[in-house]
Every structure is written in structure tokens, then in C-alpha cells.
Amino acid sequence: MALKTILITGGAGFIGSCHVRMLLSQGDVKVVNLDNLTYAGNLDSLPSNDKNHVFVQGDIGDSELVRGLLAKHKPEAVINFAAESHVDRSIDGPIAFVETNVLSTVRLLKEVTEHWDTLTAPAKDGFRFLHVSTDEVYGSLGEQGMFTETTSYSPRSPYSASKAASDHFINAWHHTYGLPILLTNCSNNYGPYQFPEKLIPLMILNALDGKKLPLYGDGLNVRDWLFVQDHCEAISVVLEKGIVGECYNIGGNTEKTNREIVQTICSIVDSISPLANGQSHESLIEFVKDRPGHDRRYAVDTTKIRTELGWHPRFQFADAIHDTVTWYVENPQWVGRVQSGEYQQQRLGLGS
Ligand code: NAD
Ligand code: TDX
């Protein structure tokens, strides 16, 4: 029987690579992985030799390339992970966020729609375009309440504004052209292979190196945390069972202040690699200038995906954060190549 083919975009990034590894481990899916290898893309996070994995270095906004890939591989689904994803970078340089998260995403949508238009039943009916988005599009919460799928969009950073724009285009493409879309809005992910600009891997690696642990503002901003494997499983469930045109919130029901997160990481690192002076790694915490426009709290109501699609997270925070810290300790080669910048030689065609 022919394998199912899925076009994954951004599959060399943190969540996309987890999804690619998960699909390949199932053995019954061919993955075409389109990623232009920005600083966030890393081929070290992917299997180097799997016959069901076709890696293509390229931009989702390269219409000719995307057209050719769709015609050649005829995927049953496209999952769009490709994006500029870091809020701090969006504050320093918003244009790249508009270029990728809005313009290139719309170019991708246009090519996918033209391809879908050429299909006939049953391939046309079964086709899906799943866009991976974030809870940040809903804005910021006070001490109470949670985001539901009907919460109005109120993005407040250049990153979340660009993701909100892409979500609107995804919905518009469904309503205007009939493209069978699915949309997911997920909370903060953590786990292995995350680039150390994000809170959790940054704090793990700084603690292990005995460096300062910079907490923005008072450290009391709240995020809901989900282990990356849970997110990828939720995406597969939405792809398989989600109703076309619908949006599904995904989250871990694990609200933590940033300070709690860092304290947890410190106590794990204390047990693995104690500081020479006998103090806890918490002594390395430093309160620094707040992020401009820093959203105070995110919390996600996941009733819809739980009750309608039967998904729920499998991983407990206490176990998964411990395993995440251990992963960074046990993978010095991945970490070292990221820290030295060597991993980027791949995209320059200099490495193997
Ligand atoms: P990431 O930054 O780790 O990876 C993004 C990947 O996309 C990289 O491999 C990069 O090379 C690639 N890419 C960027 N621009 C591209 C382009 N124009 N063409 C092709 N490839 C391109 O991001 P991530 O954390 O894995 O996030 C993946 C998706 O999930 C994003 O859409 C993000 O908005 C969303 N999301 C992330 C989180 C989180 O906590 N990390 C939470 C919810 C939603
Ligand atoms: O050094 C730091 N110190 C600090 O206090 C960093 C990098 C972050 N923080 C704070 C800011 C946030 O309140 O920690 C929290 C998490 O920060 P990030 O890891 O940058 O994530 P966030 O801004 O919440 O956005 C993330 O989750 C939602 C992802 O980057 C997005 O792609 C996703 O959509």
C-alpha cells in the first residue's frame, strides 16, 4: 500500500522536528519537509538517513518551489509550522515576522489552494491544510479567565500580531475559496531540541554553565506549559478528526510563573550538577529590565479538543521538565554545535 504523504513546513525547527520524528517513527508516512533553515532550523534535530524523509531547503513563500513540490509529491495534507517564532526578536526586528508569518504564509496558501483545486474526489475531499498557531493571538489575561476558541483576537506583540494575521488569512481562505483548513492555537511548548533563546532551554543551559538567569520584570508573568510531544500528538488528532474550518485550542493546564519555572529548573540542576560554592543555582537569578509590552498571563481552555476529539496531554510537567533538563545534559554535541554556531554551516552548504 502507498504511504500517506504529508508536507511539513518548518520541520527543522523545535516543534516541527518533533512532529517529523514522530511521523517517521510510525513508519507509515512519507514526510516532505520544507524549511529554509533560518537560525531556528537545525538539521541535527532530524534523522539524517530515513528513506521516508525528503528534506527540501526552501522558503514557503517560494511559489514555484512549492508548486513543484505539491505536483511531485501530491501530499494528502500540509502542516504549516514554518514561522518566525521568538517574541523578543519580533520586538527588535518585526519585518521578518511580517514577511514569513504573513506574506510567505499567504503565498503558501495560494499555491496549496491552486493545487487542491486540481484534485478530484476522493483526494480533494480528504485533503487538509493545518496551520499551527499560538494562544498569544488572544492577548493577555488578568488573574482570572482562560482563552477559548471564541475569545476575540487581541495580539499585542509584533510576533502575535503576525500570527493573528496569518490565522485570519487561513480562515479567509476557507470561507472564500473553500480550502479545507484546520487551525490550532497552542500554549508555550518545552522539551528537547528547543533553541536556547526561549525561557526553558536558556535557563537550563545558563544554570549548567553557572551563568546568570535573567528573569524579566518581577518574574511573575504566567504561561501555560505543554510538553512538545503532547502538542504534536494533538496536531495529529486534529488532522485526523478535526472538523474542517474549525479552530482548536491546545494547552497543558499547567500555569506557572516564570519564577516558578526557573526555580524548578534550578532544583533539578542542583541535583545533577551542584555549584562549587554549595549554593543553589537560584543564587544566579537576576531580575532584569522587562520585555516591552510583556503579556502578563496566558491560560487556555482546552474543553473543545478534549470533549470533541478525545485528546488530552499524556505528560506530567514534573516528569517532562526533569527529562528535558536531562536531555540537555546528555546531548552535549547538539548543544555545543548550537552554541558555537556550527549547526548553521549546514545551511551554507559547508557541513555534511
Ligand atoms: P522554531 O522557530 O523553532 O522553528 C521554525 C522553523 O521554521 C525553523 O526551522 C525555520 O528555519 C523555519 N522557517 C522560518 N521561516 C521559514 C520560511 N519562510 N520558509 C520555510 N521555513 C521557515 O519555531 P517552533 O517553536 O518550532 O514553532 C513552530 C510553530 O508553532 C510556529 O508557527 C509557532 O508560531 C507555533 N507555536 C510555537 C509555540 C512554542 O512554544 N514554541 C507555541 C505555540 C505555537
Ligand atoms: O530570558 C528570558 N527571561 C524571561 O523572563 C526569556 C527568554 C523569557 N522570559 C519570560 C518571557 C515570558 O514571560 O519567560 C516567558 C517565556 O518567554 P519565551 O520563552 O520567549 O516565550 P513566549 O514569549 O511566552 O512565547 C512562546 O510561547 C508561545 C514562543 O516563543 C512562541 O512562539 C509561542 O507562540
Instruction: State the complex-level ipTM.
Output: 0.99
Confidence (pLDDT) at 323: 98
Q: How far is CA 186 from CA 163, 254, 299, in A?
A: 12, 13, 10
How many domains would you assign to the chain? 1
Strand duo 222-227 + 188-190: pairing: parallel
| Three cell numbers, residue 98 | 511580517
Rounded CA-CA distance 302/229 in Å is 17
Active-site residue list = 135-136, 159
- Whether 64 is covered by a domain: the verdict is yes
- The answer to whether residue 352 sits within a structural domain is no
DSSP 8-state symbol, 144: S
Q: Which helix (H) or strand (E) holds 113?
A: helix 105-118
Q: Is residue 8 part of a domain?
A: yes
Name all residues whose Cβ lies below 6 A of ligand 2.
Answer: 85-87, 134, 136, 188, 198-199, 202, 214-216, 221, 223, 258, 291
Ligand showing the shortest atom-to-Cα distance for residue 226: 1
Which residue, judged by its Cα, is nearest atom 13 of ligand 1?
A: 82
- Whether the predicted pLDDT of 348 surpasses 90: no
User: Does some domain include residue 18?
Assistant: yes
CA distance 107 to 100: 10
pLDDT tier at 2, thresholds 50, 70, 90: confident
Q: Ligand 1 in contact with 130 (CB < 6 A)? A: no
Q: Using one digit for the tens of pLDDT, what is the confidence trace for 105-147?
A: 999 999 999 999 999 999 999 999 999 999 999 999 999 999 9
Instruction: Tell me which of 132, 137, 194, 199 to substitute to probe ligand 2's pocket, judged by most ligand atoms within 8 Å of the beta carbon.
Output: 199
Give me the pLDDT at residue 347, please: 61
| Inter-axis angle of helices 199-208 and 258-272, nearest 10 | 30
pLDDT in tens, 20-73: 999 999 999 999 999 999 999 999 999 989 999 999 999 999 999 999 999 999
Q: Give the per-residue pLDDT at 160.
A: 98
Residue (of 124, 133, 173) closest to 153 by Cα position: 133
* Nearest listed ligand to the Cα of residue 86: 2
Quick one: average pLDDT of 304-321? 98
Q: Give the chain's mean pLDDT.
A: 96
Q: Which atom of ligand 1 is nearest to the CA of 188?
A: 40
Is the CB of 191 within 6 Å of ligand 1? Answer: no
pLDDT beyond 90 at 78: yes
Q: Which atom of ligand 2 sits closest to the CA of residue 157?
A: 23
Our mutation pick for probing the ligand 1 site, out of 7, 8, 9, 15, counting the most ligand atoms within 8 A of Cβ, is 15
Q: Please state the atom number of ligand 2 nearest to the C-alpha of residue 200.
A: 19
Name the nearest CA neighbour of 179 among 229, 132, 232, 110.
Answer: 110
pLDDT for residue 350: 46
pLDDT band at residue 349 using 50, 70 and 90 as cut-offs: low
Tell me if 44 is assigned to some domain: yes
Owning domain of residue 11: 4-194+227-253+294-315
**Which residue CA neighbors atom 1 of ligand 1 most closely?**
13
CATH number at residue 54: 3.40.50.720
Mean pLDDT, to the nearest integer, of 222-237? Answer: 98
Q: Could you tell me if residue 215 is inside a domain?
A: no
* Most ligand 1 atoms within 8 A of CB, residue of 42, 81, 111 to mutate: 81
Write down the pLDDT at residue 275: 95
Asked whether 315 lines ligand 1 (CB < 6 A), one says: no
Tell me, yes or no, whether 221 lies in a domain.
Answer: no
Tell me whether residue 152 is in a domain. Answer: yes
Q: CA dist 274 to 266, 267, 270, 280, Å?
A: 10, 9, 5, 7
* C-beta separation of 58 from 64 below 8 A: no
Nearest CA owner, ligand 2 atom 9: 199
Write down the pLDDT at residue 3.
85
